[in-house]
Copies of this chain bind each other. A is one copy, B any other.
Amino acid sequence: MAKQAASGKVRGSRTGRPIMALLDLLGRRWTLRILWELREEPLTSRALRTACDEASPTVLQARLTELREAGFVELGEGGGYGLTALGRELCETFMPLHRFAERWKK
């Protein structure tokens, strides 16, 4: 079969291509779920935890920090996490997934 990619691929998903960084970020446990749960309204950290099946606060906090640094999520002044404009935009991208999942059933 064809000779493959001896090109200097650096390890880690940060090869400079934004899509890789994005896939890497989204491909972490609870990241997609968090975005999904925030899709409609902001939630407090505890409410988010409840929505995410009581996931460990350690990892939720880690994800929220990552998502904030990425500019997808923000912490409101009155408390509670919500999507930024960018985050809402990203979430829109995932909406078709809902319908797909229904057809897919499992």
Interface residues of A (CB under 8 A from B): 1-2, 4-5, 9-13, 15, 17-24, 26-33, 36, 43-44, 46-47, 50-51, 53-54, 70-71, 78-80, 86, 89-90, 93-94, 96-98, 100-102, 104-106
Contacts and interface: CB of A to CB of B under 8 A. Distances in A.
Given A18-B101, A33-B27, A97-B19, A4 B46 contact: yes
Nearest to A3: B47
A82 B19 CA distance: 21
Counted per complex, copies of this chain come to 2
A54 to B, nearest CB: 6
15 contacts: A1-B47, A1-B79, A4-B47, A5-B50, A9-B50, A9-B51, A13-B53, A19-B36, A21-B106, A23-B33, A23-B97, A28-B29, A71-B104, A90-B100, A93-B97
